[in-house]
Structure 1
Amino acid sequence: MRTLAGVALFALTALPAAGADLPRSNPEAQGVSSPALRAFIEAADKDIDALHSFMLVRHGHVVAEGWWGPYAAETPHMLFSLSKSFTSTAVGLAAAEGKLSADDPVLKFFPNEAPADPSTNLKAMRLSDLLRMSTGHQTEPLRKASESWAKTFLAQSVPFKPGTHFLYNTSATYMLSAAVQQATGQTVLDYLKPRLFDPLGIAKPTWELSPQGISTGGYGLSVRTEDIAKFGQLYLQKGKWNGKQLVPEAWVETATARQTSNGSNPKSDWDQGYGYQFWRCRNGAYRGDGAFGQYCIVLPEQDAVIAITSGVKDMQAVLNLVWDKLLPAMKSGALAADEDAAKKLASTLKGLALRTPEGKASAPKVASKKFVFPSNDGKLESVVLENGKDGAVTLVARVGGTDRRIECGAGSWVKGRTAWGRLPEQPCAAAGAWTADDTFTAKICFTETPFITTVRLKFTGSEVRYETEANVGFGPTKEAALVGKSE
Structure 2
Amino acid sequence: MTLPRSTPADQGLSSAGLDAFVAALDASEQEIQTVMVLRRGHVVLEREWSPYRLTDRHLLFSVSKSFTSTAVGLAVEAGLLSVEDKVVSFFSGDDLPETISDNLAAMEVRHLLTMSTGHAVDTVDRLGRTGRMVQGFLRLPVEHAPGAPFVYNSGATYMLSAIVQKVTGEKLIDYLRPRLFEPLGITEAIWETSDEGVNMGGWGLSLSTPSLAAFGQLLVQRGVWNGEQLVPAEWIEAATSAQVDNSSESNPDWQQGYGYQFWRGRHNSYRADGAFGQYVLVLPDHDAAVVMTSASPDMQETMNVIWEHLLPVLEGKGAEGDTSSQPLELLPPAGPTPPAGNGRTYRFAPNDAGISAVRLDADGSGSFTFVASRPWESGEQEITIAPGAWSEQTYTLPDPAQRIVTSAYGDGDSFVGTIRVLETPFVITLRCHPADDGLTVDVAFNVGFGITDQTITSEPV
TM-score by length of 2: 0.90
SS where residue 100 of structure 1 aligns?
coil
Of residues 406, 422, 445, the one that matches 2:384 is: 406
The alpha-carbon distance between structure 1 residues 455 and 49, as it changes in their structure 2 partners (threshold 3 A), is farther
Of residues 286, 295, 305, the one that matches 1:302 is: 286
The alpha-carbon distance between structure 1 residues 383 and 108, as it changes in their structure 2 partners (threshold 3 A), is same
In structure 1, give the amino acid aligned to 2:404: A
Alignment correspondent of 1:442:
417
Deviates more, 1:241-250 or 1:449-458: 449-458
The aligned runs of 1:169-208 (5 Å cut-off) are 169-208=153-192
**Could you tell me whether the CA contact under 8 Å between 1:408 and 1:414 is conserved in 2?**
no
The answer to whether structure 1 residue 45 and structure 2 residue 23 are counterparts is no
Q: By how many angstroms is 1:483 displaced? A: 6.0
Alignment correspondent of 2:404:
429
Alignment correspondent of 1:219:
203
The alpha-carbon distance between structure 1 residues 198 and 384, as it changes in their structure 2 partners (threshold 3 A), is same
Alignment correspondent of 2:344:
370
Q: By how many angstroms is 1:432 displaced? A: 2.2
**Could you tell me whether the CA contact under 8 Å between 1:132 and 1:275 is conserved in 2?**
yes
Q: By how many angstroms is 1:468 displaced? A: 1.4
Alignment correspondent of 2:394:
416
Q: By how many angstroms is 1:161 displaced? A: 1.6
**Could you tell me whether the CA contact under 8 Å between 1:52 and 1:309 is conserved in 2?**
yes
Q: By how many angstroms is 1:94 displaced? A: 0.6
SS where residue 253 of structure 2 aligns?
coil
Give, in whole Å, the separation in 2 of the partners of 1:106 and 1:380: 42
Q: By how many angstroms is 1:42 displaced? A: 1.9
SS where residue 324 of structure 1 aligns?
helix
Give, in whole Å, the separation in 1 of the partners of 2:194 and 2:387: 37
**Could you tell me whether the CA contact under 8 Å between 1:373 and 1:484 is conserved in 2?**
yes
SS where residue 162 of structure 1 aligns?
coil
Q: By how many angstroms is 1:457 displaced? A: 2.4
Q: By how many angstroms is 1:295 displaced? A: 0.5
SS where residue 480 of structure 1 aligns?
strand
The alpha-carbon distance between structure 1 residues 223 and 189, as it changes in their structure 2 partners (threshold 3 A), is same
The alpha-carbon distance between structure 1 residues 148 and 288, as it changes in their structure 2 partners (threshold 3 A), is same
Give, in whole Å, the separation in 2 of the partners of 1:109 and 1:373: 49
Alignment correspondent of 2:447:
472
Q: By how many angstroms is 1:182 displaced? A: 0.9
The answer to whether structure 1 residue 143 and structure 2 residue 115 are counterparts is no
**Could you tell me whether the CA contact under 8 Å between 2:25 and 2:305 is conserved in 1?**
yes
Q: By how many angstroms is 1:435 displaced? A: 4.0
Percent identity over the alignment? 41
**Could you tell me whether the CA contact under 8 Å between 1:417 and 1:425 is conserved in 2?**
no
Q: By how many angstroms is 1:270 displaced? A: 1.1
Of residues 234, 237, 248, the one that matches 2:232 is: 248
Alignment correspondent of 1:395:
366
Give, in whole Å, the separation in 1 of the partners of 2:306 and 2:275: 17
Give, in whole Å, the separation in 1 of the partners of 2:63 and 2:185: 18
**Could you tell me whether the CA contact under 8 Å between 1:93 and 1:247 is conserved in 2?**
yes
SS where residue 183 of structure 2 aligns?
helix
Of residues 79, 95, 106, the one that matches 1:124 is: 106
Deviation digits for residues 452-480 of structure 1 (CA, Å, limit 9, x no counterpart): 10112245686644221011111111112
In structure 1, give the amino acid aligned to 2:37: L
Alignment correspondent of 2:68:
87
- Any gaps of 5 or more consecutive residues in structure 2? 372-378
The alpha-carbon distance between structure 1 residues 201 and 463, as it changes in their structure 2 partners (threshold 3 A), is same
The aligned runs of 1:209-358 (5 Å cut-off) are 209-263=193-247, 268-332=252-316, 338=321, 340-341=322-323, 344-345=324-325, 348=326, 351-358=327-334
Give, in whole Å, the separation in 2 of the partners of 1:455 and 1:107: 47
Q: By how many angstroms is 1:399 displaced? A: 4.9
**Could you tell me whether the CA contact under 8 Å between 1:258 and 1:275 is conserved in 2?**
yes
**Could you tell me whether the CA contact under 8 Å between 1:53 and 1:65 is conserved in 2?**
yes
Alignment correspondent of 2:376:
none
Give, in whole Å, the separation in 2 of the partners of 1:380 and 1:237: 47
The answer to whether structure 1 residue 154 and structure 2 residue 138 are counterparts is yes
The alpha-carbon distance between structure 1 residues 409 and 143, as it changes in their structure 2 partners (threshold 3 A), is farther
Q: By how many angstroms is 1:31 displaced? A: 1.9
Deviates more, 1:24-33 or 1:220-229: 24-33
Give, in whole Å, the separation in 2 of the partners of 1:36 and 1:25: 15
The alpha-carbon distance between structure 1 residues 245 and 461, as it changes in their structure 2 partners (threshold 3 A), is same
Deviates more, 1:21-30 or 1:369-378: 369-378
Deviates more, 1:94-103 or 1:258-267: 258-267
Deviation digits for residues 409-457 of structure 1 (CA, Å, limit 9, x no counterpart): 61334233255xxx78942423324243433322101111111101122
Give, in whole Å, the separation in 1 of the partners of 2:263 and 2:381: 44
Determine which structure has greater relative contact order: mean sequence separation of CA pairs < 8 Å that are 6+ residues apart, divided by chain length: 1
**Could you tell me whether the CA contact under 8 Å between 1:270 and 1:279 is conserved in 2?**
yes
SS where residue 292 of structure 1 aligns?
coil
SS where residue 431 of structure 1 aligns?
strand
Between Structure 1 and Structure 2, how many residues are aligned? 450
**Could you tell me whether the CA contact under 8 Å between 2:131 and 2:196 is conserved in 1?**
no
TM-score by length of 1: 0.86
Alignment correspondent of 2:457:
482
Deviates more, 1:25-34 or 1:239-248: 25-34
**Could you tell me whether the CA contact under 8 Å between 2:440 and 2:457 is conserved in 1?**
yes
Give, in whole Å, the separation in 2 of the partners of 1:362 and 1:127: 58
Give, in whole Å, the separation in 1 of the partners of 2:187 and 2:441: 41
Give, in whole Å, the separation in 2 of the partners of 1:382 and 1:336: 55
SS where residue 83 of structure 1 aligns?
helix
Q: By how many angstroms is 1:323 displaced? A: 0.7
**Could you tell me whether the CA contact under 8 Å between 1:266 and 1:272 is conserved in 2?**
no
